[in-house]
Amino acid sequence: MNSMSTLANSLIRQGLRGAVGRTPMIRLGRVSEATGCEILAKAEYGNAGGSVKDRAALYLIADAVKRGQLKPGGTVVEGTAGNTGIGLAHLCNALGYKCVIFMPETQSKEKIDLLRVLGATVYPVPAVAYTDPNNYNHQAKRFAEGLENSVWTNQFDNTANRLAHYETTGPEIWEETEGRVDAVAFATGTGGTLAGVGTFLKERNPDVRTFLLDPEGSVLYNYFTHGELKRQGDGSITEGIGQGRVTQNLSGAPVDHALHITDAMAVEHTFRLLHEEGFFVGASSGINVAGAVQAARQMGPGHVIVTCLCDLGQRYYAKLFSRKFLESKNLLTAVPEDYRQWLH
C-alpha cells in the first residue's frame, strides 16, 4: 500500500460531503468559570458550508436520493431562513444538482447574497405565518411539485434532519466528553438538533438532561412548560430558530426543560463571545450560550453542559453588529458598555 492510500484512509476527508461533521469541541472559559460548570460548545461553523445546518442538508439530500425522489442533475428545493439553504447550495454544487431556495425577505442580505454567489436561485418572499398558503415553505413545496426530477427537502418535517444529529452530532458529543455530558442546550427551529442529539444521549445515559432554548415570539417555551401553543413575546431578531408549531422533527423529542431566552440575553452573550472569548458568531449562538449558562445555574456547579456555536457573524454583520439596528430594536443597552465602541 502506498503512502497516499494510507493518508486517504486515515487523514484526508473525501470531498465537501466528507467535510461535514467532526467539528471541534471547545471549552468556553469565561462562562465555565462564572458558573462552576464545564460549558462546552461544538464549533458548528467549522462544517464545510459554515453552519450546523450542513449536517441536516447532507442527510436531506441523501434521503431524497435513497427514496428515488432525486436523480442525477435534478433540483433541490427548500424553504429556509438561510443556513440550511446555504448548506444545500454547497452540496448541490459538489454533487451535481441545481438548488432553488425560498426564504423570508426579512432574513439578512448577507445570506441572500451568499446563496446567489453559490449558484442557487433565490426567491425572497413576504414573511407570513405557516398557516398562510404563501408561507415560504408552502411556496417551496408547490414549486418543487411543478418540476420534473426535483425534491422539496422539507427540513422541518423530514426526519432525515433529526437522523443527521442522532447519527453524527450526538455520538461526537458522547465521544468528545468521554460520556461525561450532563446536559445539552440548543435553540430550536426545525427541532432536528435537539431531538437527534437528545435521543442518542439518553439512550446512552437516561440522566442526561435536555434544555430547549426558545426565542421571543415562539410557542415552544409555553408548549413544553404549560402545554399550550402560545407565543411568548412579540418576535425576535434571531434568524432560523423559534416556531409556531411542533414539527415532525421535534415531535416526541425528549425535552426535559424549556427556557425562554430574550433577545437582550442573546445580544449580550453574542458580544461577550466576541470580545471575551474571541468568537465572531450569530445571535443563535448567543441564545445557545445564554441558555447553557441558565442550565448550568439551574443544575449547579460541577456539571458538563454542551451546546453549539451555530455559524459565524459575517452572515449578520449589517444588522446584529450595527448600532443603528440595535437602537431601532431597543437592544443597544444589551451590548456590554465596554464593547459598544466597536459597533459600526
Domains of the chain: 16-46+169-335 (3.40.50.1100), 52-152 (3.40.50.1100)
Q: Is 53 a catalytic residue?
A: yes
pLDDT of residue 1: 46
CB atoms within 10 A of CB 178: 8
Alpha carbon distance 233, 137 (integer Å): 23
- Any idea what the Cα angle at residue 48 is, between residues 144 and 19, rounded to 5°? 110
What integer pLDDT is reported at residue 240 of this predicted model? 87
Q: Using the structure block, give the residue that is written with the C-alpha cell 421535534.
A: 250
In one letter, which amino acid is 253?
A
Give the per-residue pLDDT at 8. Answer: 55
Enumerate the β-bridge partners of residue 99.
76
C-alpha to C-alpha distance for 202 and 109, rounded to whole angstroms:
39
Evaluate whether 218 touches 231 at the Cβ level (below 8 Å). yes
CA dist., res. 269 & res. 30, Å (int) = 11
Beta-carbon contacts of 263 under 8 Å, excluding residues fewer than 6 positions away, are 215, 216, 236, 237, 238, 283, 329, 331, 334
- What's the confidence (pLDDT) of residue 6? 55
3-class secondary-structure state, position 189: coil
Measured at the alpha carbon of residue 312, what is the angle toward residues 308 and 313, in degrees to the nearest 5?
A: 125
Residue from 53, 98, 111, 319 carrying the catalytic annotation = 53
Q: Return the C-alpha cell found at 329.
A: 430594536
Mean pLDDT of the chain: 95
Residues of the chain with pLDDT under 50: 1
Give CA–CA dist 184/219, Å, rounded: 20
Pair 114, 319: CB distance under 8 Å: no
Instruction: Kindly report the length of the chain.
Output: 344
Which pLDDT score is estimated for 107? 86
What does pTM read for this prediction?
Answer: 0.94
Q: Report the DSSP pairing between strands 183-187 and 209-214.
A: parallel
β-pairing verdict for 25-27 and 38-43: antiparallel
